[in-house]
Structure 1
């Protein structure tokens, strides 16, 4: 939380003591619960479908995708990688478009189009067709993850976002679990309509997405000021809480705040941490069925055995972010999970024993998945101003999805069945994230201490309107802003 030590009377009125307005802790808790029920479930559902559509190619691979499309060498890896440059390119423009339009319009628009791309993927006949549909899938899916993280920041205070982002991101772990179960069931449809089982995986899961997208426009609430499920006093309280959390930092649309984000070195550190987090996640989600099959299991059993690691990942993702919100810490949690992830991949690389390898997949999942919501909440909490925050979140996700390009080539067929090289590469990436996280944790604590010292020496002062206007330009560099450690 920023420590506001200065401000005019009008600012004080807007951020007045909520208990004087009937908003005690119990009432605030009820308000947050109401927001949660109306916002998070649907956002989690569409992200589950998005992640399922993006990664179900890993399940389809076990049902003769490569053989039917006559893929050779690293062509399968090329089809994985081609999605990500277009996904990355779409992220900042998509967040700007969501700011210019409305979440309900923009998210519905991209969801319909990525669902259509997914269905088309089920009818491809060759390498070129698969590459083309993956390009369109990347273009239209690119806006969802940064868009929803920005959307959450428009409803919740900084110390409340991590748990909500974890609830939303946990849908990725559920997608992995459901993907294995669905793929095992859909395998029985091989030959129906003259199509292979892998085709039906793409078609049926794409149809599920497009059905949900038809209701998205009415299910998505845009902003607190227009939310129909809130009463007038509840709308005012949500907006008051956000103002108290960010002070008078700018929420207007102006490209100069986009450039502020682009020139902020801290965001680039978070981009690298996110890249080193998403690389093992994409590697894991795209290749886990293959890795488990190479432990000696049949294709159908491998599909089912890919489920438990995701279940454990889901539990730890939600639990860690809930606790991190309670103590308002991010860095130390990230450091802990990074060490668990390193241990998991070390077990995979270090032994041929299938039981120990499988335990490694569980530890790897527990270690890598919580890093993303923790890291997203950390970066978003430490960016001041609405548009700069939206741009900074999109930049972070862009960095993360560069990890997706790398992940597509981590596990090559020639390195099977043990994939020691791939596991070692991922250990290296997580280790890089560990040292960058350690650096940012130390820097944030020292910077907060420096600002506290300056504030104590200056004492409490009241800002003029001109000074407040100047501070709007500084975003998180304003003297009273405190970073979340």
Structure 2
């Protein structure tokens, strides 16, 4: 069912209400009243969504802003003298970037499983305090070896935030409205890019204060800021809709209801309602994790993820150096990164709104991948600083809208709470190994053209386009087969519990593309 079809939405809501009532009655649960089972005639859905947006998104965006700021500020520190002060070769500097992603990728799946079992309002701030301490201490390292160890620990402590928050949002919002919220949250990365340049420009003026170089103060002050925000997050984060104090009892029931029954009812060929799959199993079983590891779509989607994340980290880690290599001063290079990220953030939010509105993900993703090809083509094809800057501008403006779209596309097509948790962590964890690759794309010996780095980015983008087409064709084929099976009454062969445990492999589930 398309998210933008008012008629089908009305039919679906009526069906869901009947299914919920029948499900509760047959299970022996005391319903109390019609409103308790899903009529919710007095609930203003838009008001509830605004409440959730105001209470959840700003704090989550602040957490991710600091996360992206802390992992990427090494690029700002580099042009302020980090490499020279620690007597590092260009190869050693690239290794400092690379090792972060090894531990970052390894700890994402365990962290997401812990997030589901523990309280998000405790787990997320806790890991944030840990990485804030690591970031602060990074400002005191005295050698290449010390910086490597610090980056390894930064990967461990930061691993749980992005996949955790991306999954956490799916516990609050339905799949036809999630990309807009993912984009609001992820746009913090764009703001972090702009903020990083401004901060580095200001903090670098502290060079010599306390006997410390300016690049050290970048790490120290941004690390302290992370710890302070983490301390406040303990009091401002909420766990799950069931316990949200900012919602009334009726609103909490409504949010739980709409999440539990979203997208699980399909119309049969004769127009009657299929009431087979009505809920997702919530009890943890290792088979849900295994289902995620063996799901073909996750591994194909990872290639799409790489086509976006490789340019993302290439830009975030090397943009100041690339601009400086165009013969701008360090301070000018820091400031010239700001407008790129601001425009990218705005475009990400606008694109997400349209994507949710039309209920499509892939057309926007593929369109922006072609936009990246154009941008990198400009960078490779010209040595004119203005043309190169324009090409980088295009690339960044394509990366930031496509990234939340890709994350949302997969989470829309994973059904079952624990499978979705593990699947998103696999996508982001393995996908972020692309960051390890991208951190070695841009070598100092290739400056100022960086033809090798730009060329490798183009290769990954091309692979991503092919993977996107494979997903689209596969989803379309599977949906058509399930439509036929549903019309033939195959859903009647399964109990609701069996269909529930099958998740997105059930005949009642439809992939979004």
Q: What's the TM-score, normalizing by structure 2?
A: 0.90
* Equivalence for 2:268: none
Rounded to whole Å, the distance in 1 between the matches of 2:129 and 2:319 is 28
Q: Does residue 291 of structure 1 match 2:303? A: no
Confirm or deny: 8 A CA contact 1:271 1:398 kept in the other structure: no
> Residue 10 of structure 1 is aligned with which of 3, 18, 22?
22
Give per-residue Cα distances to partners, 1:120-171, cap 9 Å, x unaligned: 0000111011111101100000000000011000001111111111111111
* Equivalence for 1:310: 341
Confirm or deny: 8 A CA contact 2:40 2:254 kept in the other structure: no
Q: Does residue 168 of structure 1 match 2:196? A: no
* Equivalence for 2:194: 177
SS across alignment from 1:390: helix
Mapping 1:375-414, distance limit 5 Å? 375-414=406-445
Rounded to whole Å, the distance in 1 between the matches of 2:430 and 2:463 is 14
Mapping 1:377-456, distance limit 5 Å? 377-456=408-487
Confirm or deny: 8 A CA contact 2:183 2:349 kept in the other structure: yes
Confirm or deny: 8 A CA contact 1:348 1:360 kept in the other structure: yes
Rounded to whole Å, the distance in 1 between the matches of 2:249 and 2:307 is 44
Deviation at 1:459, TM superposition (A): 8.2
> Residue 32 of structure 1 is aligned with which of 49, 55, 61?
49
Confirm or deny: 8 A CA contact 2:38 2:257 kept in the other structure: no
Confirm or deny: 8 A CA contact 2:491 2:507 kept in the other structure: no
Q: Does residue 115 of structure 1 match 2:120? A: no
- C-alpha root-mean-square deviation of aligned residues, in Å? 2.0
* Equivalence for 2:286: 255
* Equivalence for 2:379: 348
Rounded to whole Å, the distance in 2 between the matches of 1:70 and 1:95 is 38
> Residue 22 of structure 1 is aligned with which of 35, 38, 41?
41
1:186/1:174 CA distance change after superposition, 3 Å = same
Q: Does residue 374 of structure 1 match 2:386? A: no
Confirm or deny: 8 A CA contact 2:375 2:395 kept in the other structure: yes
> Residue 501 of structure 2 is aligned with which of 467, 473, 476?
473
Deviation at 1:72, TM superposition (A): 1.2
> Residue 251 of structure 2 is aligned with which of 234, 238, 253?
234
Give per-residue Cα distances to partners, 1:422-451, cap 9 Å, x unaligned: 001101111111111111112212221221
> Residue 72 of structure 1 is aligned with which of 64, 89, 99?
89
> Residue 44 of structure 1 is aligned with which of 33, 40, 61?
61
Rounded to whole Å, the distance in 1 between the matches of 2:443 and 2:39 is 63
Rounded to whole Å, the distance in 2 between the matches of 1:438 and 1:470 is 31
Query: Size of the alignment, in residue pairs?
Result: 480
Worse-matched range after superposition: 371-380 or 467-476: 467-476
* Equivalence for 1:327: 358
Rounded to whole Å, the distance in 2 between the matches of 1:393 and 1:380 is 7
1:125/1:460 CA distance change after superposition, 3 Å = closer
Q: Does residue 357 of structure 1 match 2:396? A: no
Worse-matched range after superposition: 97-106 or 40-49: 97-106
Confirm or deny: 8 A CA contact 1:330 1:378 kept in the other structure: yes
Confirm or deny: 8 A CA contact 2:371 2:394 kept in the other structure: yes
Give per-residue Cα distances to partners, 1:335-388, cap 9 Å, x unaligned: 000000111111111101111111101100011222210011110010010000
Rounded to whole Å, the distance in 1 between the matches of 2:491 and 2:238 is 40
Give per-residue Cα distances to partners, 1:234-291, cap 9 Å, x unaligned: 1000001001215312122111100111111111111221122111100100000000
* Equivalence for 2:142: 125
Q: What's the TM-score, normalizing by structure 1?
A: 0.95
Rounded to whole Å, the distance in 2 between the matches of 1:143 and 1:273 is 21
> Residue 297 of structure 2 is aligned with which of 242, 260, 266?
266
* Equivalence for 1:224: 241
Deviation at 1:473, TM superposition (A): 2.4
1:421/1:152 CA distance change after superposition, 3 Å = same
Deviation at 1:218, TM superposition (A): 1.3
Worse-matched range after superposition: 375-384 or 437-446: 437-446
Deviation at 1:399, TM superposition (A): 2.3
Deviation at 1:312, TM superposition (A): 1.5
Q: Does residue 100 of structure 1 match 2:117? A: yes
Rounded to whole Å, the distance in 2 between the matches of 1:226 and 1:8 is 21
Give per-residue Cα distances to partners, 1:47-103, cap 9 Å, x unaligned: 000000000000011101000000014000000001001000110000011111110
Confirm or deny: 8 A CA contact 2:341 2:396 kept in the other structure: yes
* Equivalence for 2:267: none
Worse-matched range after superposition: 164-173 or 443-452: 443-452
> Residue 510 of structure 2 is aligned with which of 471, 477, 482?
482
Mapping 1:43-62, distance limit 5 Å? 43-62=60-79
Uncovered stretches (5+) of structure 1, i.e. residues with no partner:
none
